[in-house]
Amino acid sequence: HGCKRKVVLAVPQFNGLAALLAGTDIIATVPDYAAAALAANGGVRAEPLPFETSQDFELSMAWRGAQDNDPAERWLRSRIQMFVGDPDSL
């Protein structure tokens, strides 16, 4: 599209994003469910992107290294991978 962007911050969670955006000219690109939740709490407005996007995207999972071998965490990660990833890779 010939557009450029300047990334000024990245957040690990969306719940504090509205406070970070308040009083600035920063925009955020977030999943539709996050945009709806942020807008419902007030202070920010949600609008669709002004251009088409591909449905192909990379989804990553991250966790604290201290929980890497925790049985409950390993089970949870395997369930997430099973439901949104490739079940054959378990």
pTM of the entire predicted model: 0.55
Predicted local distance difference test score (pLDDT) of residue 49: 83
Domain around 39: 1-52
Residues 10 and 44 in one domain: yes
Task: Tell me, yes or no, whether 3 and 46 share the same domain.
Answer: yes
Q: Are 39 and 46 in contact (CB under 8 A)?
A: yes
Pair 63, 89 in one domain: yes
The torsion angle over the Cα atoms of residues 64, 70, 87 and 32, rounded to 10 degrees, is: -40
Give residue 44's pLDDT.
Answer: 87
Rg, C-alpha atoms of the chain: 17
pLDDT tens-digit map of 16-30: 888 888 888 888 988
Q: Tell me what the mean pLDDT of segment 35-59 comes to.
A: 81
pLDDT score, position 72: 92
